[in-house]
């Protein structure tokens, strides 16, 4: 009798723990999370009236010249591509995944870095200068990025304090960062990771860290696309003002 009681005392909690663990794993399964993310991104594409492709083929990515400059290879891939239906498209949104490890380690969720990326085309193949804009964080700036510098503007002293730049020549970068562009770059208000802004000839590309378990990924993606559009519009506005 004592042995049966002891067995029940030990087995019942273990059984309950096993059930709880199984339920937790089913909810936190990376595969399940990716399926849910794909569903949310597809619904976002329908709401925006844009096309959707879960697995982005190379010929689809080739429709957006800006994406080629992101260096897609066997470690950097795109998925959940939301693209404007016009040809050629000016706007696109997608998941960008960077595999940090190869081999068996690549199968683990934490072996990959996931970003949301949005692309907005410019109406002319300008500006001539290409630059990236990073918002300072608690650590003072992005880790591992070389050649960063700050730039001062007499009419915007806060910009120097908040942002770091990468891109040469610096005179060209200054010409791109007109007052409307700086205001648009500062227009990101969502909490969480801060986007990196890349302004290059013909395109504005912005990307922000993401997570497969983020249930609000579609809302964040929509905000990111509007953010890219706003910066592209500001770049064009600044160009017209100079002309």
- Does a structural domain hold residue 17? no
Q: How far is CA 50 from CA 89, 91, 167, in A?
A: 10, 9, 32
- Does a structural domain hold residue 118? yes
More confident residue, 231 or 57: 231
- Does a structural domain hold residue 205? yes
- Does a structural domain hold residue 5? no
Taking 80 as the threshold, does the pLDDT of residue 136 lie above it?
A: yes
pLDDT for residue 23? 41
Q: What CA–CA distance (Å, rounded) separates 195 from 243?
A: 30
> What percent of the chain is modeled with pLDDT above 90?
40
Taking 70 as the threshold, does the pLDDT of residue 56 lie above it?
A: no
Pick from 3, 120, 2: nearest CA to 67 = 120
- Give every CB contact of residue 14 below 8 A, 6+ residues apart in sequence: none
**Out of 34-38, 60-64, 80-84, least confident range:** 60-64
* Exposed e or buried b per residue across 123-134, where buried means at least 16 C-beta atoms within 10 angstroms of its C-beta: eeeebebbbbbb
Confidence category of residue 119, pLDDT binned at 50, 70, 90: very high
The total domain count for the chain is: 1
Task: Say how many CA atoms lie within 13 Å of 39 toward its Cβ.
Answer: 9
- Does a structural domain hold residue 128? yes
Confidence category of residue 108, pLDDT binned at 50, 70, 90: very low
- Does a structural domain hold residue 8? no
Checking DSSP bridges between strand 196-200 and strand 131-135, what pairing results, if any?
Answer: antiparallel
pLDDT for residue 124? 73
Q: What CA–CA distance (Å, rounded) separates 62 from 20?
A: 46
Average pLDDT over residues 73-77: 61
The separation between CA 4 and the C-alpha centre of its own chain, rounded to angstroms, equals 57
- Residue 151 and residue 159 in contact, taking contact as beta carbons nearer than 8 Å: yes
pLDDT for residue 32? 87
Dihedral pair phi/psi, residue 76, rounded to 5°: -125, 110
- Does a structural domain hold residue 181? yes
Domain range enclosing 39: 25-242
Which is it for the CA torsion 74, 58, 195, 140, positive or negative? positive
Reported as type and span, the H/E element at residue 58 is: helix 58-61
- Does a structural domain hold residue 38? yes
pLDDT for residue 106? 43
Confidence category of residue 98, pLDDT binned at 50, 70, 90: confident
């Amino acid at each position: 009798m004592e042995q049966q009681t002891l067995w029940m005392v030990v087995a019942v909690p273990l059984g309950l723990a096993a059930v709880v663990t199984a339920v937790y794993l089913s909810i936190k399964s990376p595969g399940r999370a990716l399926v849910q993310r794909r569903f949310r991104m597809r619904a976002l594409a329908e709401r925006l009236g844009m096309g959707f492709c879960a697995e982005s083929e190379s010929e689809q990515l080739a429709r957006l010249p800006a994406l080629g400059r992101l260096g897609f290879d066997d470690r950097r891939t795109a998925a959940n591509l939301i693209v404007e239906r016009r040809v050629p498209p000016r706007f696109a949104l997608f998941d960008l995944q960077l595999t940090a490890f190869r081999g068996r380690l690549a199968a683990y969720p934490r072996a990959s870095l996931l970003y949301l990326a949005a692309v907005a085309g410019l109406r002319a193949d300008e500006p001539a200068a290409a630059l990236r804009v990073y918002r300072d964080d608690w650590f003072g700036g992005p880790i591992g990025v070389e050649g960063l510098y700050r730039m001062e503007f007499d009419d915007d002293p806060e910009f120097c304090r908040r942002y770091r730049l990468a891109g040469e020549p610096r005179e060209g970068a200054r010409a791109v960062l007109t007052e409307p562009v700086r205001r648009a770059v500062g227009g990101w208000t969502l909490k969480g990771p801060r986007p990196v802004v890349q302004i290059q000839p013909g395109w504005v590309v912005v990307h922000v860290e993401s997570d497969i378990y983020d249930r609000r990924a579609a809302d964040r993606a929509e905000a990111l696309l509007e953010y890219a559009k706003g910066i592209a519009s500001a770049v064009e506005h600044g160009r017209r003002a100079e002309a």
